[in-house]
Amino acid sequence: MKDLKFNQSLGHLFHNINLNMRKKLEKDVREFGLSSAHQFGVLLLLSKKSMSQKEISDATLADEPSTTRMLDRMIKKEVIAKKRSDEDLSLIHI
């Protein structure tokens, strides 16, 4: 088998592709007033249905305190709004 250098391995190439795609996405979402691709993902979730903070945290695999802080920033920027539901505090996309 031919010896491969680390920077020529398939895994390294996939890593570089992923890194470049994330950098591009982060740049693109900033143009829409969002501070991260994570916020963009939350907007995609909320475009389908209202969700509680816990549901958003579970869906994005983020811890609840971090999710709360991110959602508070999005509410402050008026990207999303809170709406009280019968059973919980839900979020809706404005």
Amino acid (one-letter) located at 71: L
Q: What local confidence, expressed as pLDDT, does residue 6 receive?
A: 60
Tell me which amino acid residue 57 is: S
- Give the phi and the psi of residue 51 in degrees, each rounded to 5: -140, 150
Q: Which two tokens stand for residue 66?
A: 């971090």
What is the pairing mode between strands 51-52 and 80-84?
A: unpaired
> Counting every residue, how long is the chain?
94
Six-digit token pair at 21? 């795609």
Write down the pLDDT at residue 3: 62
pLDDT of residue 57: 93
Structure tokens belonging to residue 82: 């809170």
CB atoms closer than 10 angstroms to residue 4: 10
Q: What is the pLDDT of residue 94?
A: 42
**Domain extent listing, the chain:** 7-93
According to CATH, the topology of domain 7-93 is Arc Repressor Mutant, subunit A (1.10.10)
C-beta of residue 80 within 8 angstroms of C-beta of residue 73: no
pLDDT tens string for the chain (94 positions)?
466 566 678 888 899 999 999 899 888 888 888 888 889 889 989 988 888 888 999 999 999 999 999 999 999 988 898 887 766 656 564 4
The pair of three-digit structure tokens given for residue 93, joined into one six-digit string: 């996309």
- How much of the chain exceeds pLDDT 70, in percent? 83
pLDDT digit string (tens) for 81-92? 888 776 665 656
pLDDT, residue 2, reads 61
